[in-house]
Each structure stands twice: as C-alpha cells, then as structure tokens.
C-alpha cells in the first residue's frame, strides 16, 4: 500500500495521471492500476478523471493528510536505519525565512559542518506558511519560523532568538514608498500590520535585493538589524523614526517531535538551542 499511497499523492500534487507517471517513473497504465488497487483496498473512489486532469473525491481529500503522514514516517524510518547502520553519513533538512537564511543560520551551519563533515545539510528558504506545511509533510526536519507562523498543535515549537526589525532608508531617498518582500513573507505581514498605510513600491524575494534597492534611495525598507547594522553605523542608511518601530519578533525552531528527528537533525537542533543559551 505504501507505493500506492505515494502514487496517489503524485497524482494529487501533479493534477493528472500523465504528470504523475513522469514523477514516479512509471507508465500511465501502471498509475491507473495502482489507483484501482488502492481504491479496491479502501473501498472508496479516490480520484475523478476529467478532460483536463484529475481531482480528489471527498474520500480522496480525507485520505491526503494521512497518506502524507505515512510516506513521511517511512522516509524518516529509512533514513534513521541507514544512519544507524552506517549506510549513509546522514542528512538534515532545514527550512527558514530569508533573514534567518542570510544572517542567523550561516555560522551555525558552518560550525555544524566542521564538526560533522560527512553529514549533508540541505537548507531551504521559504515563507512561514509554506515551511510549516513542508514540515508537517516531512519535507523538512527543522524549520526556523517566527512565533506568529505556528498555530498547529502537531508542531513542536522551541523558542530560539529575538530578531529586531528597523525601518530604514538612504539619506538621499527619493520616495517614502516601501521596498519589501513578496506577499506571504513574515516581514511584509509585520510591516503592513504596523504600518497599514504603506504604499508598496517593490516586491522582492531576498534580503540582499531589498537592502540594495533601499541603499539606492528607491524607498523605505523594514529589515533586520542583523542585515543592515553596519549600514546604519556607517551612515549609508538612516533609521526612520515612526511610531511602532523598531519591531521585535521571536524566532522559533519547529519540528514534528524529538522522537521523529533523524540523528543528524537531532544533533543540529541541540546545537542551535545550545548556541542561543550561550548568547
């Protein structure tokens, strides 16, 4: 049933039997046979085939979260066994927002790599809501999110560190419009909650891109002091004084439970939390 569940999720995620066949490297008839087998075993129709693809039935929708949990659990088990018996060197998958990826995690991950040079660390940047779903689906082991980004009882949340965000602009700024991140980012949501009258001039995807355009005087930006502290000290950027700013948010480390972490992920978690206690 495990392989059939993986195939079912491939159809759901890709939207068609044809696309799913390419994802799981099987023929389309094999995909159809797997779905018929799964539907027979469960006693319910799971997918409706339409002219432009496939969509899950009510029973299929009910199955999706459980199927994802099964696939993630098996993957976790395989990784743990491989690490214990030495078949692989281990791997840890971590997701984080733009600021954490650019400013906070690099020294920790570098130190971790020096301590465990044979462990592969895979870092994925994304928005809170995207990373939260990837964590629940087992696509990442650890996620660094803002404390506003977690409200699910199935996710374990551990406090990590504070991040101070400051409103800044170039001394030669040509506009009071805002240079910020794509819709869905935690910083953008915090900015609009604190400054609802903000006029968005640019929507960008990285800390470096926002900083670069603010430095050029395009507009005002809300950025972490960790990323623009030197710019403020040197005078390249000046702090914009406005009620509600600077803003402090709490970064947290999230996972699906200590017992579900691979040895590599458990080791990284311990070192991240220990490093914060020493700050």
Q: Look up residue 256 and give its two tokens.
A: 């699906």
Per-residue pLDDT tens over the stretch 4-25 = 898 999 999 998 888 888 888 8
Q: What are the backbone angles phi and psi of residue 143, rounded to the nearest 5°?
A: -140, 130
Residue 186 CA to residue 173 CA, distance in Å, equals 25
Domains of the chain: 2-84 (1.10.10.10), 88-155+250-277 (3.40.190.10), 163-249 (3.40.190.10)
Predicted confidence band at 88 (pLDDT cuts at 50, 70, 90)? Answer: low
Residue 188 CA to residue 185 CA, distance in Å, equals 5
Q: What is the share, in percent, of the chain residues with pLDDT greater than 70?
A: 94
Residue 46 CA to residue 147 CA, distance in Å, equals 36
Check residue 72 and give its pLDDT: 87
Which tops the pLDDT comparison, 79 or 126? 126
- Answer yes or no: are the C-beta atoms of 204 and 191 closer than 8 Å: no
Tell me which of 78-82, 145-149, 151-155 is least confident. 78-82
- Answer yes or no: are the C-beta atoms of 116 and 271 closer than 8 Å: no
Our measurement of the distance from residue 201's CA atom to the centroid of its chain's CA atoms, rounded to an integer in Å, reads 26
Check residue 87 and give its pLDDT: 39
Q: What is the mean pLDDT of residues 206-216?
A: 95
**Cα(first)–Cα(last) distance of the chain, in Å?**
48
Alpha-carbon torsion (15, 19, 25, 28), positive or negative: positive
Check residue 277 and give its pLDDT: 44
- Answer yes or no: are the C-beta atoms of 57 and 12 closer than 8 Å: no
Instruction: Tell me the β-bridge partners of 204.
Output: 181
Predicted confidence band at 279 (pLDDT cuts at 50, 70, 90)? Answer: very low
Predicted confidence band at 82 (pLDDT cuts at 50, 70, 90)? Answer: low
């Amino acid at each position: 049933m495990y392989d059939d569940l993986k195939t079912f999720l491939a159809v759901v995620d890709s939207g068609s039997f044809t696309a799913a066949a390419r994802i799981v490297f099987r023929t389309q008839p094999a995909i159809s046979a797997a779905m018929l087998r799964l539907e027979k075993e469960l006693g319910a129709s799971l997918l409706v085939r339409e002219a432009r693809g496939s969509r899950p039935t009510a029973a299929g929708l009910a199955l999706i979260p459980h199927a994802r949990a099964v696939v993630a659990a098996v993957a976790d088990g395989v990784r743990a066994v491989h690490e214990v018996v030495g078949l692989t060197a281990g791997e840890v998958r971590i997701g984080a927002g733009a600021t954490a990826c650019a400013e906070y995690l690099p020294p920790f991950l570098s130190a971790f790599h020096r301590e465990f040079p044979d462990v592969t660390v895979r870092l994925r940047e994304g928005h809170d809501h995207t990373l939260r779903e990837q964590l629940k689906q087992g696509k990442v082991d650890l996620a660094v999110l803002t404390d506003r980004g977690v409200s699910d009882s199935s996710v374990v949340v551990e406090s990590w560190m504070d991040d101070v965000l400051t409103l800044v602009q170039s001394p030669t700024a040509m506009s009071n419009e805002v240079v910020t991140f794509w819709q869905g980012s935690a910083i953008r949501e915090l900015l609009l909650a604190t400054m609802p009258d903000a006029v968005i001039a640019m929507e960008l995807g990285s800390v470096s891109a926002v900083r670069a355009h603010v430095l050029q005087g395009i507009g005002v930006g809300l950025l972490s002091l960790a990323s623009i502290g030197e710019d403020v000290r040197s005078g390249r950027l000046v702090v914009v004084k406005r009620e509600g700013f600077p803003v402090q948010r709490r970064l947290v480390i999230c996972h699906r439970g200590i017992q579900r972490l691979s040895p590599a992920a458990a080791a990284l978690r311990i070192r991240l939390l220990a490093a914060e206690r020493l700050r």
